Chain A
Amino acid sequence: MPITINGSPVPIPSDPRVSLLDLLREELHLSGTKKGCNQGACGACTVLVDGERIVSCLALAVQYDGRKVTTIEGLADGNGLHPLQAAFIEHDGFQCGYCTPGQICSAVAMAGEIARGMPSHVTGELDSGTITLTRDEVRERMSGNLCRCGAHNGIVDAILEVYGTADARVLEAAE
């Protein structure tokens, strides 16, 4: 079975060493997904697999046979911007832009995790059934995505603008 990448079927690579990241960047020229460390430490290569976030540098492409992968290039409907992409521009949630696709993909999946009630280290009430997307929840949950330019405040502002007041239904739809 092929891998479905941004809605299009892609055959799995013949070399089993090829990471999902290198498949995207080198074979498909989907270079929006970035390589910042190639060892799972920076989050720049974050993509969505069946709606969940993974670091694609630590994923062998052959493992994703039959799965649905969404990259930054496939996030928006049509040619416009995803609401989070627009919010990143408005809040200046980046400078050099290199960690940005990973931050955005990560945040989209994070919103889904909140909607599913997955707690984090800073979640207070674990039995209330719902989790409020506070600034601290965003900071904690986004800490796997490094930014060296120091756009952290703008990133959190952008995420809160798009998902902060959304109810669980909207967050689910973000997946």
Chain B
Amino acid sequence: MKAVEDAKQAVQGAASAVMAKAVQMAPDSWMPGGKPDPLIRAQHGHVGRPISRVDGPVKVQGAAPYAAEFPLDGMLYAALVFSTIAKGKITALDTDAAEAATGVKLVMTYRNAPRMKPMPLFMTSEKACGGNDLPVMQDAQVYWNGEPVALVLADTQEQADHAASLIHVAFEEEHAITALAEAKAKGVEPGQFMGQPLKFENGAAEQALADAAHKVDQRYTTPRHSHNAIELHAVAVAWEGDRLRVHDATQMVAHSAWSLGHVFGIAEDQVHVTSPFVGGGFGGKGLWQHQVLAAAAAKLAGRPVRLMLSREGVYRIVGGRTITEQRVALGADAEGRFDALIHTGTTAMSHHNVLPEPFILPARSAYATKTMKLDVEVAYLDMVANTFMRAPGEAVGTFALESAIDELAHDMGVDPIELRLRNEPDKDPTTGAPFSSREVEKAFRDGAERFGWANRQAPGTRREGEWLIGTGVATATYPYYRMPGGAARITLTPNGAAIDIAAHDMGMGTATAQTQVAADRLGLDMAQVTFNYGDSTLPGVVMAGGSQQTAAIGASVMAAHRALVTELLKLAGNDSPLAGLDADEVVGVNGGLAKIDDASAHESYASILARAQRNELVVEAEPPSPLETTHWSMHSHGAMFCEVRVNAVTGELRVSRFLGSFDCGRILNPKTAASQFRGGIIMGLGLALMEETQYDERSGRIMNPSLAEYHVPVHMDVPEIEVMWTDIPDPHAPMGARGVGEIGITGVAAAVANAVFNATGKRVRDLPITLDKLL
């Protein structure tokens, strides 16, 4: 079977390589984005203005309803019991006391749970989004330490929690692989990410390294991380006959509806998932076992159910970012040009998920080099399925790569910015595709000037009292993604328009920015545009992930808008000032359509609709496949500058200044985009300074499942963070914009570590940089 699978993958890989080459060779004009979005030229509309969030008032008043805040008639509350072993069998389940407890309506275990299929594993098909593909409370087998083994339903949360504490479970343990060393000793496998091997070789990199005039060759390690959105994962479900209604906290409503339908053997349109407000996601708010268990329990009890995970529960059943061990080796000639770039290493994952932390992604496109070797190997552990967390790959991969570049620069006595710029590629180093837009040098030069980079001193030479002060820099990088599956509907009325798309706003500012965009595209005021999202019955399958929503929604609305204009021109007919024009010759302006170069040839939407005796016009369309991401190499970049103060006596480390200088295409809303950049940087400070999901290698159990013991940056840890951007539109992206949600976390840990080296002369290659490593 293995050979057949391998052969199949090889054929698919070869076919996709041929296709990729064909797409790269095709003329620009055949590509989506081949002709720049006309909105890029518009400079006097809503786009580019720092408009406050459209959902601001309800959020500051506590009036925005999150998933756990939809009371349903007759609703029961759920509580979970988790396994305390990593692998084995349940040998006894004592649920009598729980069943007899006040208010308890149901105790569900594998013995009475309804028969369900496993969740379809994320990315194994278009709409599959299960965090793992294990049986959900279907048998006595235990697969990870923290797996749900019993669920209680009661009239109140207090009753459910108490009853759950009365359940006793006995286990027979089997040997589990919970230590990385043992997992590696059992053999590693090549990592795969989105169907492609995490492997690339160009030339004899090891030999080039050996022969290089200057070289570094170091090992870097990063721990597990948890998303820790402040909103706990929560779901409220109700069965209406064979239809399932789900109030969820999710960044993938349409995927969830389809996947839950698959689990329960019903069609996706029998499942209605809504998620109007999500209290933070960062990759963690997907489909995990709690939604399935809540729906199963609701079915058994015949009552609606709400299940809000405890904070410990989130750690037990929702995976986070996994551990990495990385080697980065750089060989350079006398001028600092790279002869060899080697980035390899190992990550751990469970047997039941799809994401090996792809830490080599930044190295694929960041630097020119004569030879390259990239490789991610996977060791398998019996642990909670790890998953996507903000910039999977780039967040921790840039720590290793950008630390190594700083080490090489120091060894060579070259400024680390100059070393990076000497290795700027003129085309994509791995695919050979031309860059759609790449302003790395501008980001560095502008950032360096504002930060005062020129004032930097030699390592360990700047001191104020007990405090050693240093500065560091690193490259941030994240790709432009646009996933297939987009679609949008526009409903135009005489007074305005509604945009409908099954996308998400978890605080990124999606609804605000997309209202600005739609208003400009249609020539309406923002108050005339309603942006509807977070509902699986709306068109499109648009995940809030990969920083792709700006492009995915943008392209979908562009497609729908073109269909709308085409239809309007038909309705306008020969009596209109627009008569004879086609969709390419008009723009939305002043509540109607006008000829691009002659504003006097204008007719309002109200007039067109009235003459056609229509109250509204509804169109829906899908954008073309995202071939632009293959035809061009599309990446955002940033230059991250950090100043740290390290206490020479205690080792205490404070980040005193941080500046991010970004090149992310056009910025749609400077206010919300700045918050996305800062938010990413602050999560990056956590990655650098304090964050670690502590995992007991003996038992496979997470030891700090609490916000008291997993430290995230607090106000006192966060300095004023400066952000700036080139604002140069990407001619091949909708609106000229690339997403801004994830790039902020990339490069931060390296910028901090490099600043720590500059302050102290100590190089920390193991995250987080806690004070014990500086003493």
Contacts and interface: CB of A to CB of B under 8 A. Distances in A.
B203 interface: no
Contacts of B675: 92, 95, 149-151, 154
B725 to A, nearest CB: 16
Contact of A89 (B56, B62, B715): B56
A25 B65 CA distance: 11
Contacts of B227: 148
B196 interface: no
B61 A72 contact: yes
Among B277, B676, B681, B716, max chain A CB count under 10 A is at: B716
Contacts of B715: 138-140, 142-143, 145, 152, 155-156
A153 B720 contact: yes
B682 A152 contact: yes
Among A26, A32, A35, A101, max chain B CB count under 10 A is at: A35
Contacts of B679: 95, 149-151
A34 B61 contact: no
A96 B678 contact: no
B231 A96 contact: yes
Interface stretch (B240-248, B502-510, B749-757): B502-510
22 contacts: A17-B162, A22-B158, A26-B156, A32-B63, A33-B62, A34-B279, A35-B308, A42-B707, A72-B61, A81-B60, A85-B57, A89-B60, A95-B506, A95-B507, A96-B279, A97-B60, A98-B279, A139-B716, A145-B715, A148-B712, A154-B675, A155-B715
**Which secondary structure dominates chain A's binding surface?**
loop
Interface string B693-714: 0000000000000111000111
Chain B, interface size category, equals 35 or more
Interface in A118-146: 135, 138-140, 142-146
A84 to B, nearest CB: 8
A92 B506 contact: no
A153 B721 contact: yes
Given A34-B230, A85-B60, A95-B508, A41 B720 contact: no
Nearest to A86: B60
A88 B311 contact: no
A34 B229 CA distance: 12
A29 interface: yes
B160 to A, nearest CB: 11
B683 A71 contact: no
B62 A150 contact: no
A170 interface: no
Nearest to A142: B715
Nearest to A71: B62
Interface string B266-287: 0000000000011111100000
A39 B708 contact: yes
Interface of B: 52-53, 55-66, 68-69, 71, 156-158, 162, 227-232, 277-282, 308, 310-311, 506-509, 671-672, 674-676, 678-683, 706-708, 712-718, 720-721
Interface of A: 15, 17-18, 22, 25-26, 29-42, 44, 71-73, 76, 81, 85-86, 88-90, 92, 94-101, 104, 135, 138-140, 142-156
A19 to B, nearest CB: 9
Given A92-B52, A152-B715, A76 B229 contact: no
A59 B228 CA distance: 23
B333 to A, nearest CB: 40
A139 B720 CA distance: 11
A147 to B, nearest CB: 7
A39 B227 CA distance: 18
Contacts of A147: 230
Contacts, number: 184
B55 A139 contact: no
Contacts of B279: 34, 36, 96-99
Contacts of A139: 715-716, 718
A150 B60 contact: no
A151 B676 CA distance: 9
A94 B507 contact: yes
Contact of A146 (B60, B506, B712): B712
Contacts of B282: 148
Among A72, A145, A147, A155, max chain B CB count under 10 A is at: A147
A117 to B, nearest CB: 21
Contacts of A86: 60
B71 A95 contact: no
Contacts of B158: 15, 17-18, 22
A159 to B, nearest CB: 10
Given A39-B706, A42-B707, A149-B679, A96 B230 contact: yes
A27 B680 CA distance: 37
A35 B718 contact: no
A155 B84 CA distance: 40
Nearest to A22: B157
B64 A150 contact: no
Given A39-B311, A151-B679, A95 B509 contact: yes
Contacts of B308: 35
